């Protein structure tokens, strides 16, 4: 399924459906931050999980939510490639960007940032492939790798499947939110295919 088709179908979803999709995609990216935290001790996975929990709850129950405060918290624990010279910093950063972007869309009540989360998720997969298997390839070969790589194709398939699933539901309610949230747990891995790590007791969620 072509990227532009997926993005257009996301645009066609109602706002709350787009928000649920963006939360799902962000949650699939968060384990990459957890892995980085376990390896370096930097940051706090509880902050990212707290931000996602607020969004999950808001989606299922509406009401007021302190999205701006949580966005500030996420920004405070976002790592930088300038202070961490390791491959894992990039997926960790991108997880933070996705969650911050999700929160921005909810703060502004603007669907554009919600669509951007899907772009961040796909871009994160492409970036990882470029930095690993594509690192030593010529530009044309690297571009072909990105088009054909199983991880990139799977990311688009996952997004497309969730878009189709959400489109079947007229309303976002607590039951739908629970089903989508449980899907993240059933997958049991990040969008890069990494298993969800066991966090130390002081950061367990």
Residue 8 domain flag: yes
pLDDT 10s digits, 46-67: 999 999 999 999 999 977 889 9
pLDDT 10s digits, 15-41: 999 999 999 999 999 999 999 999 999
Residue 205 domain flag: no
> Residue 200: is its pLDDT beyond 80?
no
Residue 48 domain flag: yes
Rounded to whole angstroms, the Cα distance separating 84 from 193 reads 22
Give the chain's domain count: 1
Rounded to whole angstroms, the Cα distance separating 149 from 125 reads 10
Rounded to whole angstroms, the Cα distance separating 134 from 78 reads 26
> Residue 204: is its pLDDT beyond 90?
no
Residue 153 domain flag: yes
List for the chain the helix, strand, coil content (%; round to 5).
70, 0, 25
CA end-to-end distance (rounded Å), the chain = 35
Number of residues that make up the chain? 205
Q: Which residues contact 202 (CB under 8 A, 6 or more apart)?
A: none
Looking at residue 135, its pLDDT comes to 86
Rounded to whole angstroms, the Cα distance separating 97 from 83 reads 17
Looking at residue 164, its pLDDT comes to 96
Residue 194 domain flag: no
Which residues is 195 bridged to in the sheet? Answer: 189
pLDDT 10s digits, 58-93: 999 977 889 999 999 999 999 999 989 899 999 999
pLDDT 10s digits, 111-146: 999 999 999 999 999 999 999 998 888 999 999 999
pLDDT 10s digits, 138-165: 999 999 999 999 999 999 999 999 999 9
Cβ atoms 203, 37 nearer than 8 A: yes
Q: What integer best gives the mean pLDDT of the chain? A: 93
Domain span at residue 56 reads 3-184
pLDDT 10s digits, 164-199: 999 999 999 999 999 999 999 999 999 999 988 777
Q: What is the mean pLDDT of residues 95-122?
A: 98
Residue 157 domain flag: yes
Looking at residue 86, its pLDDT comes to 94
Q: What is the DSSP string of 2-13?
A: -HHHHHHHHHTS
Rounded to whole angstroms, the Cα distance separating 82 from 74 reads 18
Looking at residue 202, its pLDDT comes to 57
Residue 202 domain flag: no
CATH of the domain at 44: 1.20.1590.10
Rounded to whole angstroms, the Cα distance separating 19 from 31 reads 20
Looking at residue 1, its pLDDT comes to 44
Residue 154 domain flag: yes
């Amino acid at each position: 399924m072509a990227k532009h088709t997926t993005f257009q179908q996301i645009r066609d979803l109602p706002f709350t459906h787009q928000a649920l999709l963006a939360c799902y995609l962000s949650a699939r990216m968060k384990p990459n931050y957890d892995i980085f935290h376990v390896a370096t001790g930097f940051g706090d996975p509880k902050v990212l999980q707290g931000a996602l929990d607020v969004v999950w709850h808001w989606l299922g129950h509406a009401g007021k939510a302190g999205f701006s405060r949580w966005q500030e918290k996420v920004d405070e624990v976002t790592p930088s490639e300038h202070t961490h010279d390791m491959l894992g910093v990039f997926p960790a950063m991108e997880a933070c960007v996705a969650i911050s972007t999700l929160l921005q869309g909810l703060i502004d009540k603007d669907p554009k940032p919600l669509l951007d989360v899907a772009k961040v998720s796909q871009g994160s997969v492409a970036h990882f492939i470029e930095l690993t298997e594509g690192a030593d390839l010529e530009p044309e070969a690297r571009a072909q790798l990105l088009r054909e790589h199983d991880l990139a194709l799977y990311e688009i398939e996952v997004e497309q499947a969730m878009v189709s699933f959400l489109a079947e539901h007229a309303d976002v309610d607590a039951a739908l939110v629970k089903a989508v949230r449980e899907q993240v747990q059933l997958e049991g891995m990040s969008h890069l295919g990494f298993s969800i790590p066991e966090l130390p007791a002081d950061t367990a969620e």
